[in-house]
Each structure stands twice: as C-alpha cells, then as structure tokens.
C-alpha cells in the first residue's frame, strides 16, 4: 500500500479522488491548500504527491518549488493534476495527469510512478 498526499482546493474533487485511491488500496492524506500540504510534509513522508495546479494563494508550481527546495522531501515524486491543457506546467514535476482522464488515467499514471 502506497502513501499518497492529495492536494486540491476543490473539496468535491478532493473527496472523490481520495475515494478512488483508497478503493485502489492506497493510504491517502488530504490537503486543501498548498500551505496545508507543506505543513503536513513537515512530519509525513508520502510515496507520491498528487498536486492540483490551479489553486488560490499558492499554485501548484509554487508548492512544487518549495518541495524541490527542501532536502528532506525533494525526491518525492510529484504528479500535477489539472484541468488545464498546458503541458508546460509540468516543469519539475514527474508528470501531468489531466483531470479529464478520470479514474483510469489517474490510476495508470500512479502505477507508472510507483
């Protein structure tokens, strides 16, 4: 069972995605903002981070930059989840999973990383 940190400001998307991952056998910790996620990462080391790109206050790129600048967590794989069509957003991430790909696309991408 893999530990996944799921970060999304959309509470419905956060809950639905967490259900998908838990049914697939993963242990999920949720964060509704970049700040909350960084706080969680102070004591929790997931096997993978699923990071929403478009969030208020601190977007996915800003969160990823802070992750990559931290020696203790910089090597945790990060997948961006996004509704955007811009492939340039993945700079520094281990991949991009469009939200439109739904559960099958998400589970496939996770399987390729873990």
Q: Which domains does the chain have, with CATH numbers?
A: 3-113 (3.40.50.2300)
pLDDT of residue 79: 95
Task: Write the pLDDT tens digit of every residue in 37-80.
Answer: 999 999 999 999 999 998 998 999 999 999 999 999 999 999 99
Neighbours of 6 (CB within 10 A): 25
Q: Distance (Å, rounded) from C-alpha 57 to C-alpha 78?
A: 19
């Amino acid at each position: 069972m893999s530990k996944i940190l799921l970060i999304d400001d959309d509470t419905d998307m956060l809950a639905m995605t967490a259900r998908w991952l838990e049914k697939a056998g993963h242990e999920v910790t949720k964060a509704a903002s970049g700040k909350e996620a960084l706080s969680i990462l102070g004591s929790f080391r997931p096997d993978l981070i699923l990071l929403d790109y478009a969030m208020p206050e601190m977007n996915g790129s800003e969160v990823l930059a802070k992750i990559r600048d931290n020696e203790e967590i910089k090597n945790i794989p990060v997948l961006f989840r996004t509704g955007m069509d811009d492939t340039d957003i993945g700079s520094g991430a281990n991949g991009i999973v469009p939200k439109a790909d739904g559960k099958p696309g998400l589970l496939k991408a996770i399987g390729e990383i873990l």
